[in-house]
């Protein structure tokens, strides 16, 4: 099968919603109907075998121009992971071929009849409109949930109020568990009798390594436990009979975990739970173990002229790591949530969208979903300015290379040149491509994916033949053999330096 592509940013569309559109006149004439399929995208193809061009989840539209062997055609579509097949009854066929109907029933592929008056463009437009409507509903739900959680955190009994609000917004049960697995507070009703025990097992997976009971408990089925040398994940998901489970480690050294058991998992649930994690971390701990007196003393001494070493010593660490981050999708509390996930309350969200975080050396900095991270070397307080520059450069390399996390390495080739010198070299090296951003971006993706035509096409959402044409054009303009590993290395260095 083709490689699994990243999920699109818009929610999928149920096939039933598309069939309900009277203006399209679509009719399902074969395939399963009891399990509602969902469509992630629309693809039109008249190829005899569209398998190489499918990523999975598509509604494939075809008029059957090159349809020769319906059974093989359908089996290849199913193998590629397409969600459904829409067959236009004009202009090639007056009716949907009986052999195609039988093949779709046999292979379990939903088959839609597209009437002559309905164009494939109209079907695609309807899918995108339904996706936009679903996305709007999801954003509205998440925004309302964030407002409700924030209001709950301001109540006299904030922790139970936040749990109650979270349970109401997700339609399940929210539980705050301590290091021993005991429920400190809960709200809502579990969707199944087995959900409680399964949730406690899942909570042990995300408990910080220093917390009691961690490192020796058995993880639930389908979830790998974190060994003694591996940092525990910040969150984990699993399933139980009739329930979808999620567990989130709260910031701090107490080993508290937020557990969530719901009948189903909606696209915005993770974002809503992330807001609750931040609020509960702030409500249940003094900013990840740093007391307010120590923070105030450090700030006062800095304002009165003390050096960084003297001030930061009050925060409980001699050496520090600087992290620069980009991402968070612009959601409220995103920077605080990232700080909580990395175990620090020293977070600075800059106006340009970059988040800077100061972390005590020794804490593992792991990739975080939705974020791109640049990490400095551990340094003493008087070297924090240099570490800040290291983290900024590492973040730049991560974004240029489309990587989740890059750590500063003083012995890397990039460290031998200043950013200005590297940029000047890059402009000279890539001058023949300067007038075509599409060629530069295609070359960057192609090199980052080790010359894979299919993966580059999927990443850029273009046809693989377009990728071939652009790379051939790059080779011609540069006058280089792009199969030469030395040439690829030089071009990659130049692209990362732009």
143 pLDDT more than 90: no
pLDDT of residue 292: 56
Question: From the centroid of its chain, how far is CA 13?
Answer: 19
**pLDDT tens per residue, range 385-418:** 888 888 998 898 888 878 899 888 765 555 555 5
**pLDDT tens per residue, range 256-268:** 888 898 888 777 7
40 pLDDT more than 80: yes
Give the percent of the chain with pLDDT over 70.
80
pLDDT of residue 101: 93
Higher pLDDT, 308 or 200: 200
Rounded alpha-carbon distances, angstroms, from residue 363 to 117, 350, 360: 62, 23, 6
Name the band, by pLDDT with cuts 50, 70 and 90, for residue 115. Answer: very high
Q: What dotted CATH number matches 155-225+232-284?
A: 3.30.450.30
pTM confidence score: 0.46
Name the band, by pLDDT with cuts 50, 70 and 90, for residue 123. Answer: very high
Higher pLDDT, 17 or 419: 17
207 pLDDT more than 70: no
225 backbone dihedrals φ, ψ, rounded to 5°: -70, 150
**pLDDT tens per residue, range 308-339:** 666 666 666 678 899 999 987 654 456 766 77
pLDDT of residue 3: 44
428 backbone dihedrals φ, ψ, rounded to 5°: -70, -45
* Strands (E) located in 301-442: 319-327, 347-349, 355-360, 371-375, 379-380, 405-407
18 pLDDT more than 70: yes
SS3 115: coil
421 pLDDT more than 80: no
Where helices occur in 154-236 by DSSP H, the ranges are 158-170, 195-206
Cβ(374)–Cβ(323) under 8 Å?
yes
Domain boundaries, the chain: 13-129, 155-225+232-284, 317-415, 417-497
Cβ(87)–Cβ(111) under 8 Å?
yes
Task: Tell me the average pLDDT across 454-479.
Answer: 90
Architecture of domain 417-497: Orthogonal Bundle (1.10)
**pLDDT tens per residue, range 362-387:** 788 888 878 899 999 888 877 888 88
**pLDDT tens per residue, range 157-166:** 678 888 999 9
Higher pLDDT, 341 or 202: 202
Cβ(275)–Cβ(145) under 8 Å?
yes
**pLDDT tens per residue, range 149-195:** 888 877 766 788 889 999 998 888 898 887 777 788 888 887 777 78
The top-level CATH class assigned to 13-129 is alpha beta
Name the band, by pLDDT with cuts 50, 70 and 90, for residue 82. Answer: very high
Higher pLDDT, 257 or 255: 257
12 backbone dihedrals φ, ψ, rounded to 5°: -70, 160
Name the band, by pLDDT with cuts 50, 70 and 90, for residue 490. Answer: confident
Residue 283's closest CA among 167, 395, 159, 388?
159
């Amino acid at each position: 099968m083709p490689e699994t592509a990243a999920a699109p940013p818009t929610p999928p569309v149920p096939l039933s919603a598309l069939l309900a559109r009277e203006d399209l006149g679509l009719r399902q004439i074969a395939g399963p109907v009891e399990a509602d399929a969902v469509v992630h995208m629309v693809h039109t193809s008249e190829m005899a075998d569209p398998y190489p061009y499918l990523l999975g989840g598509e509604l494939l539209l075809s008029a059957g121009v090159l349809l020769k062997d319906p059974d093989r055609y359908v089996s290849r579509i199913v193998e590629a992971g397409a969600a459904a097949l829409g067959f236009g009854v004009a202009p090639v066929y007056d009716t949907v071929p009986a052999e195609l109907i039988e093949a779709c029933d046999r292979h379990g592929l939903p088959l839609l009849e597209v009437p002559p008056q309905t164009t494939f463009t109209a079907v695609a437009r309807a899918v995108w409109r339904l996706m936009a409507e679903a996305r709007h509903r999801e954003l509205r739900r998440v925004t309302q949930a964030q407002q409700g959680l924030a209001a709950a955190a301001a109540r006299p009994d904030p922790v139970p109020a936040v749990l109650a609000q979270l349970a109401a917004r997700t339609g399940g049960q929210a539980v705050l568990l301590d290091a021993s697995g005991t429920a400190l507070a809960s709200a809502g009703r579990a969707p199944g009798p087995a959900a409680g025990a399964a949730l406690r097992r899942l909570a042990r997976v995300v408990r910080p390594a220093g917390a009691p009971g961690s490192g020796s408990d058995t993880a639930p089925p389908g979830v790998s436990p974190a060994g003694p040398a591996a940092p525990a994940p910040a969150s984990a998901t699993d399933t139980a009979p009739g329930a979808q489970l999620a567990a989130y480690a709260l910031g701090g050294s107490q080993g508290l975990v937020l557990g969530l058991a719901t009948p189903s998992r909606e696209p915005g649930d993770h974002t809503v739970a992330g807001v609750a994690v931040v609020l509960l971390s702030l409500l249940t701990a003094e900013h990840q173990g740093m007391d307010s007196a120590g923070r105030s003393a450090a700030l006062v001494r800095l304002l009165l002229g003390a050096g960084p070493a003297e001030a930061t010593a009050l925060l409980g660490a001699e050496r520090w790591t600087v992290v620069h981050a980009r991402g968070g999708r612009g959601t409220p509390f995103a920077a605080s949530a990232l700080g909580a996930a990395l175990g620090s309350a020293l977070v600075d969200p800059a106006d340009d969208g970059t988040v800077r975080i100061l972390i005590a050396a020794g804490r593992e900095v792991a990739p975080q979903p939705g974020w791109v991270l640049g990490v400095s070397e551990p340094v003493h307080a008087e070297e924090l300015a240099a570490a800040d520059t290291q983290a900024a450069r590492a973040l730049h390399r991560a974004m240029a290379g489309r990587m989740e996390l890059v750590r500063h390495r003083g012995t890397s080739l990039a460290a031998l040149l200043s950013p200005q010198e590297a940029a000047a070299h890059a402009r000279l090296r890539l001058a023949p491509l300067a007038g075509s951003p599409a060629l530069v971006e295609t070359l960057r993706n192609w090199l980052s994916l080790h010359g894979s035509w299919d993966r580059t096409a999927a990443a850029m959402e273009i046809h693989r033949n377009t990728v071939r044409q652009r790379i051939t054009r790059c080779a011609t303009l540069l006058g280089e053999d792009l199969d030469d590993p030395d040439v690829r290395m030089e071009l990659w260095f130049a692209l990362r330096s732009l």
